[in-house]
Chain A
Amino acid sequence: MTLEQPNFLKLLCATRFAEGLPNKHLQCLCRGARLVRLSAGQTLFREGETEPDVFVLTSGHVRLSMNVPGRGAVDFLSAGPGDLVGWSGLISDGRMTATATARTDSVLIALSGQCLKEACEHDPQLGFVLMKRIAQVLSQRLLSTRLQLLDLFAEGTSA
C-alpha cells in the first residue's frame, strides 16, 4: 500500500529517527517510500537475503534474530517505534545480517534504498546528514550490544 508523500512526511516526522532533520531532507527521504504493515509473526526480511530498502518503525515491535546451527533462530534484539532496521540496504550490498520478524502488529516506512543512494550522490549535504544520522543510530546500537556483552546482570560479589 502506498500513501501520498505528504502523509509519509508526517509519518516520518513523528519518529525519533527524523528528529532534527531539515524538512527538505525529509522530503528527499520520502521519495519512493512505501508503507509496510506486518501482522505479529510476519517476517520483514531474512538473514542472507538481499533487501534494497531501509525501514523506520512507526508502531509495533520487530525482533531481530540470527540463525545458529543447532539452536535455530536466536533472537538478540527488539526494535521499537522510531528505530531503524535493515540499514544494510543503504550502506552495504543489501545482504541482510539478521532476520526481522514482527513481534506485534507493526507499521514501518520503507525508504527506497535506490532513491536514497541517488539522492545522496546528487546532494552530498543530504548524504552527510543522512549518514550522520545512521551513524548515530548504529553508535547507539553498538553501545547497547556492548552493554549486553558485558553481561552486567551476572552475579556480583558482596558480603
Chain B
Amino acid sequence: MITPFPSSHPHNPWLAHSVRIQRVTQETPGVATYDMAFDDASVAESFQFLPGQFNMIYLPGVGEVAISISGDPGQRGVVPHTIREAGNVTKTLARLPLNSSIALRGPFGSSWPVESCVGKDVVIVAGGIGLAPLRPAILHLLKHRSELDELTLIVGARDSSLLLYPERYDDWRAKGMNVLVTVDRADESWHGCIGMVTAVLDRLWLRDASKTVVMTCGPEVMMWYTVQTAIRRGIPSAQCFLSLERNMNCAIGLCGHCQFGPEFLCKDGPVFCFDRVASRMKVEDL
C-alpha cells in the first residue's frame, strides 16, 4: 500500500539540528542540490518527512530560509534540498565549501496527497525549480508504481539548459512514468516540445479525467492555468493540488509572514487542494 506514511517524529519546531553539506550537485546555472547529513546519528535515524514538506535552513550569522526537501522520503540520514541562489542566505550557502556545518529545523507543512493516488491516474506538472518539491512525491509514487494507473510528469523550463534533473528522466521513464518535457524557448540543439506546460496538458490523453489527480508546482500563474486546463479537461478541482510559496519565517504559523487569508502557508500549506485556496489566488498582493 502507498499508505500509511510514518508520520514525522514529534519534534521541537524551534530546535535546529546541526548538519554538514555532504555533497553539492550543480543542477542548472545558479541551482544546486545540497545533500545535508545530520551530525547526530539519532536525529539522522529518526528524521522523516512527507513529500512536499520543507525545512528551515539556518546559516548562523546570515539567516534562515524555507526550502522544500527534494529527496527520497524513504532515504535516511541525508536530506537533499535543491536551492536556487536568490537572496543572502542562499547566495552565502552557495559559497560554502563541502563539509561546512549549518543547521536545519523541520520538517514542516502539509504534503502531496500521494496516499489518495492508489488506483488513480496521476498527472504531475512542474515548472522550473518547481520540480524540486515534487521530486519526493515522484520518487515515492515510482516506488509504488504498481498501485497507480497512468503516471505522467509534464516538465516545463525556460530553455533546455534550465531543465531540472534531466539526467533522471530516462530512469523515471524506465520505471513507468510518462515524462513529457517542454521549453519556452528553443535553440538549434533542442528537438523536443516548445510551449507551456498547459498546452501539453491540454493534449494529454486522459484515461478517465474523473479519476485523475493533478499535482502542480511552479510559478503561481502557471499553476493557476494548469488547474484551469485540468478542470476544463474534466478533472475535478478537488483532485488538483498545488504548492504555494510565500515568505515563511517561523514555520509554525506564529509570525504571520506567510498568511494567506485564513491560512498560514507554513503550517496549513505549502501543499493545498486548489478548492481551498482558489478564491484567494487572484487577490492582488495577497
Chain A interfacial positions (CB closer than 8 Å to B)? 16, 61, 63, 75-78, 80-83, 103, 140, 143-144, 147-148, 150-159
User: Could you list 10 examples of A-B contacts with CB < 8 Å?
Assistant: A78-B195, A140-B202, A144-B198, A147-B198, A152-B222, A153-B219, A155-B30, A159-B66, A159-B86, A159-B87
Interface of B, helix, strand, loop or mixed by DSSP: mixed
Among the 9-residue stretches B156-164, B208-216, B264-272, the one with 4 or more Cβ atoms under 8 Å from chain A is: B156-164
Q: How many Cβ-Cβ contacts under 8 Å join chain A to chain B?
A: 87
Kindly state the separation between the CA atoms of A76 and B86 in the bound complex, as whole angstroms: 29
Among the 9-residue stretches B45-53, B94-102, B186-194, the one with 4 or more Cβ atoms under 8 Å from chain A is: B186-194
Check if B186 sits within 8 Å of A156, measured CB to CB.
no
Check if B158 sits within 8 Å of A153, measured CB to CB.
yes
Query: Residue B221 at the A interface, CB < 8 A?
Result: yes
Check if A159 sits within 8 Å of B128, measured CB to CB.
no
Given the known A-B contacts A80-B203, A153-B156, A153-B158, are A143 and B194 also in contact in the complex, defined by CB atoms under 8 Å? Answer: no
B214 CB to nearest A CB, Å: 17
Kindly state the separation between the CA atoms of A143 and B190 in the bound complex, as whole angstroms: 23
| A158 CB contacts on chain B under 8 angstroms | 65, 84, 86-87, 90, 245, 247
B92 CB to nearest A CB, Å: 10
Given the known A-B contacts A144-B198, A159-B89, are A78 and B221 also in contact in the complex, defined by CB atoms under 8 Å? Answer: no
Chain B interfacial positions (CB closer than 8 Å to A)? 30, 63-66, 84, 86-90, 127-128, 156-158, 162, 182, 184-186, 190-196, 198-200, 202-203, 218-219, 221-222, 225, 245, 247
| B193 CB contacts on chain A under 8 angstroms | 61, 78, 80
Other than the given A75-B194, A147-B198, A159-B87, 5 more pairs (CB < 8 A) read A78-B182, A80-B193, A80-B200, A158-B87, A159-B64
Residue of B nearest to A154 (CB): B158
Given the known A-B contacts A75-B186, A80-B203, A144-B196, are A159 and B221 also in contact in the complex, defined by CB atoms under 8 Å? Answer: no
Check if A159 sits within 8 Å of B219, measured CB to CB.
no
**Residue of B30, B89, B185 contacting most chain A CB atoms (<10 Å):** B185
Given the known A-B contacts A78-B195, A140-B202, are A152 and B218 also in contact in the complex, defined by CB atoms under 8 Å? Answer: yes
The 4 A-B pairs with the shortest beta carbon distances in the complex, nearest first, are A159-B65, A153-B128, A152-B219, A153-B158
Residue of B nearest to A158 (CB): B86
Kindly state the separation between the CA atoms of A158 and B270 in the bound complex, as whole angstroms: 15
Kindly state the separation between the CA atoms of A61 and B84 in the bound complex, as whole angstroms: 33
Check if B198 sits within 8 Å of A143, measured CB to CB.
yes
| A82 CB contacts on chain B under 8 angstroms | 203
| B194 CB contacts on chain A under 8 angstroms | 63, 75-78
| B90 CB contacts on chain A under 8 angstroms | 158-159
| B30 CB contacts on chain A under 8 angstroms | 155
Q: Which of A148, A151, A153, A159 contacts B195 (CB 8 A)?
A: A148
Residue of B nearest to A40 (CB): B191
Check if B203 sits within 8 Å of A152, measured CB to CB.
no
B60 CB to nearest A CB, Å: 15
Given the known A-B contacts A147-B196, A159-B63, are A152 and B186 also in contact in the complex, defined by CB atoms under 8 Å? Answer: no
Residue of B nearest to A156 (CB): B86
Check if A81 sits within 8 Å of B196, measured CB to CB.
no
B88 CB to nearest A CB, Å: 7
Kindly state the separation between the CA atoms of A80 and B194 in the bound complex, as whole angstroms: 10
B248 CB to nearest A CB, Å: 9
Check if B203 sits within 8 Å of A83, measured CB to CB.
yes
| A147 CB contacts on chain B under 8 angstroms | 196, 198, 221-222, 225
Kindly state the separation between the CA atoms of A159 and B225 in the bound complex, as whole angstroms: 26
Given the known A-B contacts A103-B191, A140-B199, are A153 and B86 also in contact in the complex, defined by CB atoms under 8 Å? Answer: no
Kindly state the separation between the CA atoms of A155 and B66 in the bound complex, as whole angstroms: 17
Kindly state the separation between the CA atoms of A148 and B194 in the bound complex, as whole angstroms: 10
| A140 CB contacts on chain B under 8 angstroms | 198-199, 202
A107 CB to nearest B CB, Å: 15
Check if A148 sits within 8 Å of B196, measured CB to CB.
yes
Q: Which of B156, B158, B191, B192 contacts A151 (CB 8 A)?
A: B158
